[in-house]
Amino acid sequence: MTDTSALDIIYTKVDEAPQLASASLLPIIQSFAAAAGITVGTKDISLAGRIIASFPEGLTASQRQPDDLAELGELVKNPSANIIKLPNISASVPQLIAAIKELQAKGYAIPDYPAEPSTDAEKAIRARYDAIKGSAVNPVLREGNSDRRAAIAVKNYAKSNPHSMGKWVADSKTTVSTMSGNDFFSNEKSATLTAEQAGPARIELVAEDGSVTVLKEMVKYAVGTVVDATFMSARALDVFLAEQIAATKAAGTLFSIHLKATMMKVSDPIIFGHAVKVFLQPVFDAYGDKLAAAGVNPNSGLGALLDQVAAMPDGAEILAAVDKVMAERPPLYMVNSDKGITNLHVPSDVIIDASIPALIRAGGKGWGPDGKASDTNCVIPDSSYAPIYDESILYFKETGALDPRTSGTVQNVGLMAQKAEEYGSHPTTFEISKNGIVRIVLANGDILHEHAVEAGDIWRSASTNQGPIEDWVQLAIARQKAEGCQAIFWLDEARAHDAELLKYVRPILAKAGVTNKFQILKPRAATRLSLETIRKGKDSISISGNVLRDYLTDLFPILELGTSAKMLSIVKLMNGGGMFETGAGGSAPKHVQQLVEENHLRWDSLGEFCALGESLKFLAETKASDKARILGNAVDRATQGVLDDNKSPEAKVGQADNRTSHYYFALYWAKALASQNEDPELIAHFAPIAKALEENQATILAELSAAEGRPADLGGYYHTDPDKTASVMRASPTMKSILG
C-alpha cells in the first residue's frame, strides 16, 4: 500500500464492473499523471477488502490489509484530500455471506457471519460484520455535501443520440402503492437541540412491565443538531402488504416491492422480509415452526428460503406448498425472467432508486415471469418519498414519455455530510422485541422523543448536524447563482424533519438576499414542476436531503441520459478537500456476468473520465500546478472526443467495449496534450505517444477484441486475482508497451 500523504490523487479500489474497468483505466491515468509529476495511488474500500481489514487476527502477514476506509475517513477531513471515488457494493446480508465464503475458499481464515449470535464472541463478530454491510462506505467518506449534475458534453451527447424510451399510455395500470398511516412518515418526530440538551444521549425501551432495555448508549449530539425519531408498525405493514397482493391480483398486474436494502441496511431488509412472509403467508402458517427451526429467515429473500427448504427432510412437501401459493398469487416482477429470479429472491436485487426510474423509462412496464413486459403495482411501503414516483407516473400517463432530444436537466444539491439523514442504516434503528415505549433520553435528562410501539415494529432515529445544513444551503446559493435557473428546496413543511430544516434554510436565504431565487415545495409538487420545466427544455436545481438526493440523482438522469452512471458528482468537503464520485453502479453485477461469460465489458467509464478531469483541475488549484490544469483540460477534450466519435462501450460481443473506449480515451488525451501550446515538456512527452497509439490502432483494437466471445477467468468475484484480471482487462501488449 502507498503512503496516502505522498499521493496527489487517491483512486479507490472497489467492486464488480467499476473495479474491472479500473484494471484497464487506472494504468493509463497513472502513466499520463506521472509525466506531469502527479502521483495517483489506490485505497481499497471494496467489500472483500473491508472484510479482510476487519478480521486480521486469523490471517497471514501477506493476507492482511490495513483499514483503508478508516484512513480515508480521516483524510476527507484534511484540506489536501483529493479522492476519486468509484461506486462500491453496499452489501446486503446475502452479498456479505457470499463474499465471506469466497474469501474462506481462497484460504482466508475469517469467521462465518453469525445470523443469530448467541455467545458474546458471536455477538462481537456480528457487530464487526454489521459495520461492513449496507452503505458503510459513503457515510465515512462524505464529509461534504453533494453537487451532482450532467456534464455539458454528456448532456449534449444524450440530446444528439437519444436513448430509447418506452411508450406511456393514459390507461396504463401501473401505479405506486404506499401506506396511508402508521409508517415512518406519519409517525416522525423531530427537534433541534439546544445547548442545554446537547451531549451524550441514550435510546431505551421501557416495556409494559416497567423493565428498561437500553438499545443504544452514548449517542452523541452537538448543539443545533436536528434529531428525528419514528417507527413503522409491523401490524400495519402486514395488513398493507396483504391488501396490495389482493389488489394486484384483481388488477391483473405484476406485484413488485421497491426498497433500499443496501443503504437502509437495518430497516429495509426487515420490511423486505415482511413482504416475503406475507406473500407466502399460507406456507408460513402451515410450516412456520419448521422453517424457523431450519434457520429460514425471510429477510434473506425467497432464493435463500427455497435453497434451505430443499435441504429439509420434508422439503419436497414444503416446496410443493410454495408452488401452490405462488400459482395463486399475482405474478411477480422479475429480476431475470430466464432464470426465474423474482423481485422477492434477494433483498439487494431491486433497489428503488434504480428500479423505479428504469420502469418509468420503459413506459411503466416491468418484466413478468412469462418474459413479457407488463403493467406493475410498485409497492413502496413508507410514504416519505413514494409521492415523487407516484407523481412521475401520473405525469407521464397524462403527457407521454419525456423526449431526451429536447429535455432540460435537473441538477441536485444534496445534504449528506457527516451522515446526515442516515435513515434506517444508522446504529439507531431497531426491530422492537416487546411492547412498550421507545424514548430518546438526552444528556440533561430531557425525553426528546418517545413512541408507543409493539413487538416487531421498526423504530429508527437519525440526526443531521448544523454545520452540514448551513453548508448545504450555501452550496445551493452558489449553484443557483452559477446556473441562473429554477431552484427548488424539496421540503415538506408538514413533515417534522423538513420543518426543522426550514428553520435553518429560510434565515440563511434571507440573510443572503436571495429568497426570491428559490422555491420551497413538497416533493410531489416539486416533481411535477421539475418535469414540466425540463419538458420545455429548461433546467432546474433540486435541493434535497440525503435519501431524496439518492433517489433524484437516479430518477432524472435515467430519464434524461438513459443512465445515472454518467453523472458528474462533486463532493465539496467541508474542510476544503475534494471528492469526485463517478456515478451509480446498480447494473454492475450484470456487466460482470457478461464479461465472465463472453469477455465483453459494457461498463461505461464516462463517469470516471468526468471525475478525473475535475480532480486534476482541483489539484491544479490546491497545489498551483499548471501541469495538472493542462492535464485536466485535456481530459475534457478527450471525453468530448469519445462522445463525439461514438467510442463509448456497446452491449454486444463484437462491438466496442470498455477496454476499447479506454484506448480511444488514451489516444484523444495524448493528442490533446501533444497539441496544447502551454507546456513544451508535456508536448515532447505526449507527441510520440499520440503518434504511436494512432499508428498502431488496428493492432491494438485487434488485440483487445481477440478474446471476445469466450469465457474470462478473473479468479474470483468479490476478490478477483490481480494478475488474471490484468490479463483480461489489459489485453493489448502493444498498448501496454506504448504507455510503459
In a domain, 310, yes or no: no
Checking if the pLDDT of 4 tops 70, the result is no
In a domain, 713, yes or no: yes
Are 474 and 619 part of one and the same domain? no
Checking if the pLDDT of 2 tops 60, the result is no
Are 558 and 601 part of one and the same domain? no
What residues form DSSP beta bridges with 365? 375
In a domain, 161, yes or no: no
Where a domain ends, among 532, 567, 602? Answer: 567
Q: Which of 86-100, 187-201, 215-229, 280-294 has the lowest mean pLDDT?
A: 86-100
Residue 3: pLDDT band (50, 70, 90) is low
Which among 452, 632, 591, 121 is positioned nearest to 129, based on CA atoms?
121
Q: How far apart are CA 554 and CA 412, in angstroms?
A: 11
Q: How far apart are CA 715 and CA 664, in angstroms?
A: 28
Residue 206: CB atoms within 10 A of its CB come to 15
What residues form DSSP beta bridges with 230? 460
Are 424 and 455 part of one and the same domain? yes
Q: Half-sphere exposure of 499 toward its Cβ, with a 13 Å CA cutoff? A: 10
Q: How far is CA 217 from CA 127, 220, 432, 526, 616, in A?
A: 15, 9, 16, 38, 43
Q: pTM of this prediction?
A: 0.87
Residue 470: CB atoms within 10 A of its CB come to 15
In a domain, 178, yes or no: no
Are 543 and 591 part of one and the same domain? no
Residue 60: CB atoms within 10 A of its CB come to 10
C-alpha cell at 217: 448508549
**Residue entry with cell 435515467:** 558
Tens-digit pLDDT profile for residues 697-740: 999 999 999 989 999 999 999 999 999 999 999 999 999 999 98
In a domain, 56, yes or no: yes
**Residue entry with cell 483541475:** 617
Reported for 51-56, long-range contacts at CB under 8 A and 24+ positions apart, including other chains, are 51/96, 51/99, 51/100, 51/103, 51/110, 51/129, 51/132, 52/103, 52/108, 52/110, 54/128, 54/129, 54/131, 54/132, 55/110, 55/111, 55/128
Residue 316: pLDDT band (50, 70, 90) is very high
Are 352 and 408 part of one and the same domain? yes
Q: What is the pLDDT of residue 569?
A: 87
Q: What is the pLDDT of residue 348?
A: 86
Q: For residue 407, which amino acid is it?
A: S
Tens-digit pLDDT profile for residues 456-497: 999 999 999 999 999 999 999 999 999 999 999 999 999 999
Q: For residue 232, which amino acid is it?
A: M
Could you tell me if 83 and 618 are in contact, meaning their C-beta atoms sit under 8 angstroms apart?
no
Are 596 and 512 part of one and the same domain? no
Q: What is the pLDDT of residue 584?
A: 64
- Burial (CB < 10 A; 0-12, 13-18, 19+), residue 526, is buried
Tens-digit pLDDT profile for residues 602-617: 999 998 999 999 999 9
Are 122 and 39 part of one and the same domain? yes
In a domain, 315, yes or no: no
In a domain, 305, yes or no: no
Please calculate the CA angle 12-15-18 and round it to the nearest 5 degrees. Answer: 75
What residues form DSSP beta bridges with 41? 10
Q: How far apart are CA 632 and CA 166, in angstroms?
A: 37
Are 95 and 232 part of one and the same domain? no
Are 563 and 644 part of one and the same domain? no
Please calculate the CA angle 398-403-404 and round it to the nearest 5 degrees. Answer: 140
Where a domain ends, among 515, 547, 567? Answer: 567
Q: Which of 413-427, 594-608, 610-624 has the lowest mean pLDDT?
A: 413-427
Are 553 and 595 part of one and the same domain? no
Q: What is the pLDDT of residue 1?
A: 42
Checking if the pLDDT of 425 tops 80, the result is no
C-alpha cell at 532: 414540466
What integer best gives the mean pLDDT of the chain?
94
Tens-digit pLDDT profile for residues 677-697: 999 999 999 999 999 999 999
What residues form DSSP beta bridges with 578? 82, 572
Are 34 and 120 part of one and the same domain? yes
Domain extent at residue 27: 4-143+575-739
Q: What is the pLDDT of residue 491?
A: 98
Any idea of the CA torsion for 712, 715, 717, 718, to the nearest 10 degrees?
-150
Tens-digit pLDDT profile for residues 211-270: 999 999 999 999 999 999 999 999 999 999 999 999 999 999 999 999 998 888 899 999
Domains identified in the chain, total number = 2
In a domain, 539, yes or no: yes
Are 96 and 76 part of one and the same domain? yes
Where a domain ends, among 507, 533, 567? Answer: 567
Query: Which residues neighbour 354 within 8 Å (Cβ) at sequence distance 6 or greater?
Result: 554, 558, 564, 584, 586, 587
